[in-house]
Amino acid sequence: MKNICFVTNYKKTYFFDAIGKEIIARGGKVYWIVLNKMLYDYLLPTYGEDNLLLINKERGSIPNMNIGEYKLNELASVDRALKYYGEWSYDFLRNIQKPIYNFISNNKVSYVFGETTYAHEVMMCRMFKDKKELSCTYLHPQTIRIPGYHFTFLEDEFQSEIYKGVKFDTYKEGYVIKVQRPTESVVNEKRVKKSMNILSKLKRSTRFFTQKNMENDDPSISPTNLSGRLNKGLTEEWNRLTYPFVKTAPYSEVENKKFVVYTLHKQPEASVDVVGRYYDNQYTNIQNIWRILPDDWHLVVKEHTNAIGDRSLSFFKKIKKLRNLVLLNEHVNSHKIIQDAKAIFSVSGSIAYEAALYGKPAFLFVPIFFDKLQNCQTISLETLRNTNNIEDLLANWKEDRKHKMTVETFSKYLLTYSAKGLISDPLTDPKCMEEENLNLVINAFLKLVE
């Protein structure tokens, strides 16, 4: 059995721990890269000191040599915590490179499992691709969105390439993926609704002032000075309170008109800030789409129901100044919009996946695993700059789709390399810790490492 390593990630650590314990019980060796002392102390009795590498703020401040060039400017600037640490963020990313390299090399680790959300995670993904002598692959276990309760292992930082080192064969002959609401969207919406009640707000306020559950030695947590946290918290709360003053339109305003759609991403969020970096300025994306539209076409923009509080009143006033831009009410049914739109634009969102399954033109600003579908096309700023107009873009899409997978072919491809099970954490979705789900996920990990 191959040696593996997990990277701690808040509450998801406990989910990974349940997998790790079972792999140990089957005779495997499990290692951990740990971001704070609290999780280190939690893991220590099970895995032992030699199997843990602590890279908290203290350890990350010990001078050490870097082992490669991994675009630290890019990593530090998009990390939701490190971007507030100034020069120290560069010291941290340099100083942890050699200890991680030695830890993986000395323990002959074949797979490292983690996310690609934070700078240290993305850097590890790059490092293991660069240092081929390690024979180590960084994998991101991730839901495939549609169909629900399936996951795969992604092997690149952009979540565009599925790892093909093992087949799970959950595909059944004749099965075709159909549009359904992604499982995580349903779960997140329930969490957001719950978070808006008075009791939840009181609990958040208590945690805010007591700093409960905030490990101050963890480099993936923003600096904990009171003024900075107070400013961030008050800004979000003010945005939520003022959102009702944003005038949104009913669907009747664009019905029977020619329009394309851009749905706003929740932000900060890895899908736009990390996966979608260079396209993380959503106003710029909107403006660039708007520029190629004929004067009698409309650009429909829709807020994410889970993102209310992310954007200020001034943001919405700014985008509404663009001629023929319609800010649609966030509760309008997305499936109705997709079916009536001439095209859907997104950085990396599930709405593009859904549009492609419906047979509609879906344009993505970054490649992602479902862009292999024949109705998806990845475009860039240069694509928009060089296209004559939207009709020209749609003509190119028709030509491009001839070289992509049909829904039938994509269904077989995706489910061949996907396993059944829910990847989450006990806070976001407690179902992930149920015995039935853990057995499914553990069996998939075992198939990969045995």
Q: Which domain holds residue 199?
A: 185-244
Q: Residue 413: is it exposed, middle or buried by C-beta count within 10 angstroms (0-12/13-18/19+)? A: middle
Q: Is there a single domain that holds both residue 211 and residue 345?
A: no
How many structural domains are present in the chain? 3
Quote the percentage of the chain above a pLDDT of 70: 91
Among 244, 272, 290, give the residue marking a domain's end: 244
Q: Residue 279: is it exposed, middle or buried by C-beta count within 10 angstroms (0-12/13-18/19+)? A: buried
Q: Is there a single domain that holds both residue 238 and residue 329?
A: no
Strand positions, DSSP E, 29-80: 30-34, 52-54
Q: Is there a single domain that holds both residue 273 and residue 225?
A: no
Quote the percentage of the chain above a pLDDT of 90: 86
- Which band of pLDDT confidence, cut at 50, 70 and 90, is reported for residue 183? low
Q: Is there a single domain that holds both residue 221 and residue 251?
A: no
Q: Is 204 helix (H, G, I), strand (E, B) or coil?
A: helix
Q: Is there a single domain that holds both residue 385 and residue 251?
A: yes
Torsion 179-180-181-183 (CA) sign: negative
Comparing 223 with 298, the larger pLDDT belongs to: 298
In a domain, 166, yes or no: no
What single DSSP character describes residue 202? H
For residues 24 and 34, give the distance between their C-alpha atoms in angstroms, rounded to a whole number.
18
Average pLDDT over residues 25-46: 97
Among 244, 274, 292, give the residue marking a domain's end: 244
Per-residue pLDDT at 234: 87
Amino acid found at 183: T
- Which band of pLDDT confidence, cut at 50, 70 and 90, is reported for residue 180? confident
Torsion 292-294-295-297 (CA) sign: negative
Q: What's 425's domain CATH number?
A: 3.40.50
Q: Is there a single domain that holds both residue 102 and residue 72?
A: yes
- Which band of pLDDT confidence, cut at 50, 70 and 90, is reported for residue 210? very low
In a domain, 108, yes or no: yes
Question: Which residue in 15, 102, 113, 108 sits closest to 65, CA to CA?
Answer: 102
Q: Is there a single domain that holds both residue 93 and residue 198?
A: no
In a domain, 163, yes or no: no
Q: Supply the mean pLDDT for the chain.
A: 92
In a domain, 154, yes or no: no
For residues 261 and 340, give the distance between their C-alpha atoms in angstroms, rounded to a whole number.
10
Average pLDDT over residues 400-414: 96
Q: Is there a single domain that holds both residue 277 and residue 331?
A: yes
In a domain, 177, yes or no: no
Q: What's 368's domain CATH number?
A: 3.40.50.2000
Q: Does the pLDDT at position 246 exceed 70?
A: yes
**Per-state percent for the chain, helix, strand, coil, to nearest 5:** 50, 15, 40
- Which band of pLDDT confidence, cut at 50, 70 and 90, is reported for residue 207? very low
Per-residue pLDDT at 196: 55
Taking CA 227 as the corner, what is the angle to CA 226 and CA 228, rounded to the nearest 5 degrees?
Answer: 95
Q: Is there a single domain that holds both residue 145 and residue 204?
A: no
Per-residue pLDDT at 195: 52
Per-residue pLDDT at 232: 77
Which tokens go with 330? 């966030």
Q: Is there a single domain that holds both residue 300 and residue 362?
A: yes
Q: Does the pLDDT at position 62 exceed 50?
A: yes
In a domain, 260, yes or no: yes
pTM over 0.75: yes
Average pLDDT over residues 366-391: 96
For residues 317 and 55, give the distance between their C-alpha atoms in angstroms, rounded to a whole number.
43
Question: Which residue in 11, 76, 10 sits closest to 218, CA to CA?
Answer: 10
- Which band of pLDDT confidence, cut at 50, 70 and 90, is reported for residue 212? low
Per-residue pLDDT at 346: 97
Q: Is there a single domain that holds both residue 112 and residue 197?
A: no
In a domain, 160, yes or no: no
Q: Is there a single domain that holds both residue 202 and residue 116?
A: no
Q: Does the pLDDT at position 201 exceed 80?
A: no
In a domain, 168, yes or no: no
Per-residue pLDDT at 225: 62
